[in-house]
């Protein structure tokens, strides 16, 4: 949107506005002498007034003569913007250090970001994304953290078909499969499956299976622990009729289960779009026995769980869901499962965030507090780690207080592996220092100013 002039008569030319460096002859710019500066004249483009545009607000007539500038794609607005840019660039080009500025800024903005590190039985998988490349990532694999890297997924392969968006990347439990979504928008992606080893009748190492799942959303792909398939959310349309169990699906989104090596038309409908709410998140419990779903109905989140463990038979045809909570007072985020107890973080809309537990063997007890924080603290994330610990990241103090600590000026992210593993990654990301990745092995409780671990 162009900057709109003040509502006052325009002139054919005027001094450069204050948004540009000063053109005061008494303050010459770098690379230009005061004498030559005094001889320069910087004509600002004239802005047409349209005095016919007048609004009546609370009985007062308010003129808006430059409203035509709000039509950003009109020929007149484009011409005005081009003229503005010419004035600015002609002035800035006087500075002999412009090339050095451009080079420095380019260097600051060009760096690789470690999106994630995933530890699997045979490999570490590391995702790198270069800035300014539409978020596309190269994925490497290596036997050890300090071992030789091997390219597994080439981002150029992802973008060759005009892909504008890359969504979820989800490795299966053993790491032999990687499901990922790409597309033109987050609401219309295609899911494909890559293999990290030879899988009989499906694919070769570093190849792809024949699976192509279209119409999914970007936010989640969730593998079952038996690696037979994955859950995904699809944006359903009234005219979208698959020749399978979703013939009655209506507007909204629906949850499906796709079995590797099968056609999308055979996908199993788990929750139709007729349910009361939009599917917000899906998770598999850390023991692989439960499917967790959060439904969003006009901002009110409800938490549901269904058993998907049928003695090794795979996902049942009609999983039976039980409601765990209506979160009118807060937002519940699933952490993990241990000994029949579900653990959640509860935040937003309540006096203080906390970790709570729900015992599937004693549902009438409801949610029980496991870990609370002091006033001024807020839990931002939590993970099960080393089997029977919860690693908690929380904010302490006001944002102003945090910003007074230079070493932590930026964003702190924790990437945790599955609850059985003691490996996790810390990422500190700041605008000027870029990103620092720290890989840790944790066998005992952690306690410092910004993270803590509690035994389950």
Domain end position, chosen among 252, 274, 296: 274
CATH assignment of the domain containing 258: 2.130.10.120
Residues 57, 139 share a domain:
no
For 434, the domain range is: 373-456
The β-bridge partners of 242 are none
pLDDT (tens place) for every residue of the chain, 456 residues total: 554 444 443 333 332 222 333 334 344 444 444 444 444 667 889 999 999 999 999 999 999 999 999 999 999 999 999 999 999 998 888 888 988 988 898 887 777 777 788 888 899 998 887 665 455 678 999 998 889 999 998 877 776 655 567 778 899 999 999 999 888 777 778 899 999 999 998 999 999 999 999 887 767 799 999 999 999 998 766 444 443 344 333 346 899 999 999 999 999 999 987 776 788 889 999 889 999 998 888 778 889 999 998 777 889 988 999 998 886 656 788 998 888 899 998 876 666 688 899 998 888 888 899 888 877 778 878 888 776 788 887 777 544 333 333 334 445 555 554 555 656 666 655 554 444 444 444 433 333 333 444 444
Structure-token pair, residue 417: 């592996």
Residues 131, 88 share a domain:
no
Tell me the C-alpha distance between 275 and 282, whole Å: 15
Tell me the C-alpha distance between 15 and 167, whole Å: 48
Tell me the C-alpha distance between 307 and 402, whole Å: 42
CB contact set of 374 (below 8 Å; sequence gap of 6+): 352
Read off the pLDDT of residues 52-62 as tens digits, 9 standing for 90 and up.
999 999 999 99
Domain count of the chain?
A: 3
Read off the pLDDT of residues 29-39 as tens digits, 9 standing for 90 and up.
444 444 444 44
Residues 216, 164 share a domain:
yes
Alpha carbons within 13 A on the beta-carbon side of 160: 6
User: Any idea what the Cα angle at residue 71 is, between residues 68 and 74, rounded to 5°?
Assistant: 95
Tell me the C-alpha distance between 212 and 263, whole Å: 8
pTM above 0.75, yes or no: no
Tell me the C-alpha distance between 267 and 279, whole Å: 18
pLDDT of amino acid 157: 73
* Domain-embedded: residue 306: no
Residues 267, 167 share a domain:
yes
Residues 57, 121 share a domain:
no
CA nearest to 377, candidates 406, 405, 398, 404:
398
DSSP 53-91: -EEEETTEEEE-TTGGGG-TTSHHHHHHHHHHHHHHHHH
Instruction: Kindly list the distances between the CA atom of residue 377 and the CA atoms of 267, 315, 352, 380, in Å, as whole numbers in the listed order.
Output: 44, 40, 7, 10
Domain end position, chosen among 243, 274, 305: 274
The answer to whether the CB of 187 falls within 8 A of the CB of 214 is no
Residues 394, 454 share a domain:
yes
pLDDT of amino acid 188: 76
* Domain-embedded: residue 326: no
Domain end position, chosen among 232, 252, 274: 274
Residues 124, 205 share a domain:
yes
Residues 266, 161 share a domain:
yes
* Domain-embedded: residue 149: yes
């Amino acid at each position: 949107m162009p900057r709109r002039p003040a509502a006052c008569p325009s002139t054919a030319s005027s001094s450069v506005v204050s948004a540009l460096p000063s053109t005061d002859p008494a303050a010459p710019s770098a690379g230009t002498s005061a004498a030559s500066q005094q001889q320069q004249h910087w004509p600002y483009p004239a802005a047409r007034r349209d005095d016919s545009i007048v609004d009546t607000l609370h009985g007062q007539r308010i003129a808006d003569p430059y409203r035509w500038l709000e039509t950003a794609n009109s020929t007149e607005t484009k011409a005005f913007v081009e003229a503005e840019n010419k004035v600015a660039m002609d002035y800035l080009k006087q500075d002999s250090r412009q090339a050095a500025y451009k080079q420095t800024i380019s260097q600051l903005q060009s760096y690789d970001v470690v999106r994630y590190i995933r530890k699997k039985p045979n490999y570490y998988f590391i995702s790198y994304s270069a800035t300014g490349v539409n978020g596309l990532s190269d994925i490497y694999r290596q036997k050890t953290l300090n071992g030789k890297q091997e390219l597994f997924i080439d981002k150029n392969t992802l973008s060759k078909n005009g892909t504008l968006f890359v969504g979820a990347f989800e490795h299966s439990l053993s790491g032999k499969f990687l499901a990922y979504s790409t597309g033109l928008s987050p609401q219309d992606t295609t899911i494909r499956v890559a293999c990290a080893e030879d899988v009989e009748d499906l694919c070769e190492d570093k190849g792809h299976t024949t699976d192509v799942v279209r119409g999914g959303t970007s936010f989640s792909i969730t593998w079952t622990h038996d690696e037979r398939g994955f859950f995904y959310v699809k944006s359903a349309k009234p005219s979208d009729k698959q020749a399978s169990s979703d013939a009655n699906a209506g507007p909204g989104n629906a949850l499906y289960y796709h079995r590797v090596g099968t056609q999308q038309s055979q996908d199993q409908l788990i929750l139709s779009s007729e349910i009361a709410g939009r599917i917000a998140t899906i998770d598999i419990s850390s023991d692989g026995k439960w499917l967790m779903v959060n439904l969003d109905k006009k901002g009110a989140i409800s938490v549901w769980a269904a058993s998907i463990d049928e003695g090794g038979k795979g996902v049942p045809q009609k999983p039976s869901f039980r409601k765990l909570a209506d979160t009118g007072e807060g937002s519940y985020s699933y952490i993990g499962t241990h000994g029949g107890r579900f653990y959640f973080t509860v935040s937003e809309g309540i006096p203080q965030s906390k970790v709570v537990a729900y015992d599937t063997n004693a549902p009438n007890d409801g949610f029980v507090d496991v870990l609370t924080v002091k006033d001024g603290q807020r839990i931002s994330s939590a993970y099960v780690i080393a089997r029977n610990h919860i690693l908690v990241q929380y904010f302490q103090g006001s944002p102003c207080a945090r910003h007074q600590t230079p070493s932590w000026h930026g964003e702190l992210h924790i990437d945790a592996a599955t609850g059985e593993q003691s490996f996790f990654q810390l990422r500190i990301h700041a605008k000027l220092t870029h990103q620092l990745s720290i890989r840790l092995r944790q066998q005992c409780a952690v306690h410092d100013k910004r993270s803590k671990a509690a035994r389950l």
